[in-house]
């Protein structure tokens, strides 16, 4: 029965009541529709990428920009793989290539907190981007200081922003020092850095931590939900000839740029006898997209800032307990005696394993054709 004929056979009171019920029904649909839209927006993770671009940083940024699970709210630049100025230029050229001038890109610190900068053109190419000369950027740098931009966005969106630092932790430490309240306002911090199985700079330290150990210790002890995507787990995600070939079959501005970066990295890895290049920074973005890609038990992590051979090492307590040594007096002399175990509170989820093939496939599928 059509609505008009139903109306004709009803009394005025019934018609009013039917109209009210129709109105309420439509209102409920509208409210439900709006809240559904809001909740599906809520499923998208808002991220700030703090980066020292860098070849694998470039892969991480492009993975983030091509993934619908993530909304990149800002990119802040830290010196590391390249100088602060080169890093800012690289970040701007990349957001321009991706046609995303809407994303603020801000410079930050010019050097680590307490030591001289170490740059890594040796591994990343003269310009940090595999010597690929991207077109000049049509996007402009955001005038705000990177750590201030982080504070501003975190305060404006409490419990919504995930920080993804994939360079030395200088900018993040500066933001924390300026406004410690951000520690309780960010949703999560997912760091590429550290290792629980030895380093890449030397026997003990991973590069991002080694390049600013004091900053790293501030960040690890801030009391916020932190995931460490370290070197040892990144080493399980080797981008090799197979993935390169897959990227070579498709085209697009991002696709072709990342193909060039990946080719540089695969050839570099082969030169050193490896079968592929570790996806360190992209894996941190991968964990922001899908945390189930990794196994990450809770541990207490400290950063060694003084060791003669171990400055910059991430020292992880896997059992989350330490022996309690108490000084006791004995006729033969004083000594410490172990009297029990004290619990140490974990401060990080530490990635120890990864579904490498699934992650590599995710990466390739996101970049292909873009
Ligand atoms: C880290 O160091 C840098 O060279 C890479 O970009 C990555 O963030 C790996 O140790
Ligand atoms: Ca990096």
Q: Domain for residue 1, yes or no?
A: no
Residue 333 CA to ligand 2 centre (angstroms) = 52
Ligand nearest to the CA of 61: 2
Q: Domain for residue 340, yes or no?
A: no
Tokens 């800012």 belong to residue = 88
Q: Domain for residue 230, yes or no?
A: yes
Q: Domain for residue 67, yes or no?
A: yes
Closest among 237, 216, 213 to 226, alpha carbons compared? 216
What gap in Å lies between CA 211 and CA 209, rounded to an integer? Answer: 5
pLDDT tens digits in sequence order for the chain, 370 residues long: 333 343 344 555 555 454 545 444 444 444 444 443 444 445 899 999 999 999 999 999 999 999 999 999 999 999 999 999 999 999 999 999 999 999 999 999 999 999 999 999 999 999 999 999 999 999 999 999 999 999 999 999 999 999 999 999 999 999 999 999 999 999 999 999 999 999 999 999 999 999 999 999 999 999 999 999 999 999 999 999 999 999 999 999 999 999 999 999 999 999 999 999 999 999 999 999 999 999 999 999 999 999 999 999 999 999 999 999 999 999 999 999 999 999 999 999 999 999 999 999 999 999 999 9
Q: Would you state the pLDDT for residue 16? A: 47
Ligand 1, closest atom to CA 120? 4
In Å, what is the CA distance from 276 to each residue of 200, 227, 230, 360?
Answer: 16, 25, 17, 12
Q: Domain for residue 213, yes or no?
A: yes
What gap in Å lies between CA 317 and CA 302, rounded to an integer? Answer: 8
Q: Domain for residue 334, yes or no?
A: no
Q: Would you state the pLDDT for residue 9? A: 45
Q: Domain for residue 47, yes or no?
A: yes
Q: Would you state the pLDDT for residue 22? A: 46
Residue 235 CA to ligand 1 centre (angstroms) = 11
Q: Which helix (H) or strand (E) holds 233?
A: helix 231-234
Q: Which DSSP letter does residue 102 get? A: T
Residue 103 CA to ligand 1 centre (angstroms) = 23
Q: Would you state the pLDDT for residue 13? A: 52
Ligand 1 cavity residues, CB under 6 Å? 54, 56-57, 81, 120, 166-167, 192, 200, 206-208, 231, 280-281
Q: Domain for residue 108, yes or no?
A: yes
Q: Check which CATH number belongs to the domain holding 192 and give it.
A: 3.90.245.10
Q: Which domain holds residue 150?
A: 41-314+346-367
The number of distinct structural domains making up the chain is 1
| Greatest extent of the chain over all pairs of C-alpha atoms, in Å | 108
Q: Which of 59, 79, 128, 207 to mutate to test the pocket of ligand 1 (most atoms within 8 A of CB)?
A: 207
CA dihedral 128, 133, 136, 140 (to 10 degrees): -10
What gap in Å lies between CA 363 and CA 62, rounded to an integer? Answer: 9
Q: Would you state the pLDDT for residue 7? A: 37
pTM of the entire structure? Answer: 0.89
Q: Which of 166, 168, 209, 239 to mutate to test the pocket of ligand 1 (most atoms within 8 A of CB)?
A: 166
Q: Is 314 exposed, middle or buried (0-12, 13-18, 19+ CB in 10 A)?
A: buried
Ligand 1, closest atom to CA 234? 9
């Amino acid at each position: 029965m059509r609505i008009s004929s139903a109306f004709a056979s009803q009394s005025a009171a019934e018609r009013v009541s039917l109209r009210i019920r129709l109105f309420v029904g439509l209102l409920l649909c509208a409210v439900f529709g709006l809240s559904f839209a809001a909740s599906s927006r809520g499923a998208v993770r808002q991220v700030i990428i703090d980066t020292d671009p860098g070849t694998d940083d470039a892969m991480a940024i492009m993975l983030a920009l091509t993934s619908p699970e993530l909304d990149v709210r800002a990119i802040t630049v830290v010196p590391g793989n390249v100088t602060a100025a080169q890093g800012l230029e690289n970040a701007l050229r990349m957001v321009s290539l991706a046609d995303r001038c809407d994303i603020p890109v801000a410079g930050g610190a010019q050097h680590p907190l307490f030591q001289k900068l170490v740059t890594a053109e040796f591994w990343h190419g003269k310009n940090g981007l595999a010597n690929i000369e991207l077109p000049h950027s049509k996007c402009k740098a955001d005038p705000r200081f990177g750590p201030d931009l982080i504070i501003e966005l975190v305060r404006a969106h409490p419990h919504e922003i995930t920080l993804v630092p994939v360079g030395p932790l200088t900018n993040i430490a500066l933001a924390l020092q300026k406004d410690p309240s951000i520690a309780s306002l960010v949703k999560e911090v997912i760091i590429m850095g550290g290792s629980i199985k030895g380093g890449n700079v030397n026997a003990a330290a991973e590069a991002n931590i080694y390049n600013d150990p004091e900053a790293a210790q501030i960040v690890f002890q801030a009391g916020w939900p932190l995931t460490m995507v370290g070197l040892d787990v990144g080493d399980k995600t080797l981008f090799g000839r197979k993935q390169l070939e897959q990227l070579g079959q498709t085209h697009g501005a991002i696709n072709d740029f990342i193909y060039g970066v990946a080719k540089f990295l695969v050839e570099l890895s082969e030169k050193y006898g490896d079968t592929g290049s570790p996806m360190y920074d992209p894996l941190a973005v991968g964990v922001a997209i899908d945390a189930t890609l990794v196994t990450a038990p809770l541990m207490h992590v400290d950063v060694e800032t003084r060791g003669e051979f171990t400055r910059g090492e991430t020292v992880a307590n896997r059992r989350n307990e330490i022996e309690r040594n108490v000084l006791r007096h004995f006729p033969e002399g004083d000594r410490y005696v172990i009297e029990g175990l004290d619990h140490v509170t974990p401060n990080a989820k530490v990635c120890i394993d990864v579904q490498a093939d699934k992650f590599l496939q995710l990466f390739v599928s996101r970049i292909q054709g873009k």
